[in-house]
A and B are shown apart, each in its own frame.
Chain A
């Protein structure tokens, strides 16, 4: 069964600290992996998109990595800000037909 699992479920960090969120998937075959940020009460917004041939992709203080061999991805947030408090969702796309599998998300709380 195609699955996307994220860890941890939630995380609390102090402002200015770095953190890393994990995503493991069993989707196969695989065409792309995306990370979205979802603020409370809003729709998800895309942070990064990576194909199976890409190892890393950055968007400002957000850096996503991908290991297609081990089917793992991570999202690293540098020098966290209060505005980083949100849910971060890992999404895996498959090439055939229409298949996009969403992880349940990691809820990040950044405290002053």
Chain B
């Protein structure tokens, strides 16, 4: 069965370190997204990609970067981790632009703690 997986599920890192969260999907979807979810807030978009070599900034992109070298993977990198980046991170994929009427499939999430 097709799926979308994130790794690791939990990560503790120190302030200032570079951290990379992995996202891998086997749906063969064009579009992939990274969100963060904080208590009391809806999911907020960090970066997204419409295809290989395409990346775009979302509403909370400062301090994060992504790269899309193939269809299946969209790793999220925190350049220099800060305590404000402690959050739960979700990766998602979809077949068309989310402005259109298609479903997005989400990974299980990565809980990141920056100490």
Contact = CB atoms under 8 A, between A and B. Distances in A.
Interface residues of A, number: 26
Contact of B103 (A42, A46, A95, A98): A46
Interface in B15-68: 35, 40-45, 48, 56
Contacts, number: 58
Contacts of B42: 4, 89, 101-105
A60 interface: no
A94 B99 contact: yes
A51 B101 CA distance: 7
Chain B interface residue count: which class? Answer: 20 to 34
A93 B94 CA distance: 13
Contact of A98 (B43, B44, B97, B101): B97
Contact of A43 (B97, B99, B106): B106
Contacts of B106: 43-45
Contacts of A105: 42
Contacts of A102: 35, 42-44
B75 interface: no
Contacts of A96: 99
Contacts of B35: 102
A93 B43 CA distance: 13
B100 interface: yes
A97 B99 contact: yes
Interface string A33-73: 01000000111111001010000000000000000000000
B109 A93 contact: no
A99 interface: yes
A98 B109 contact: no
B98 interface: yes
B44 A31 contact: no
Interface of A: 4, 31-32, 34, 41-46, 49, 51, 89, 93-105
6 contacts: A43-B92, A43-B106, A43-B107, A51-B101, A93-B101, A105-B42
Q: Please give me the 10 A-B residue pairs with the lowest Cβ-Cβ distance, nearest first.
A: A43-B106, A102-B42, A102-B43, A46-B103, A100-B98, A32-B101, A104-B42, A95-B99, A44-B106, A103-B42
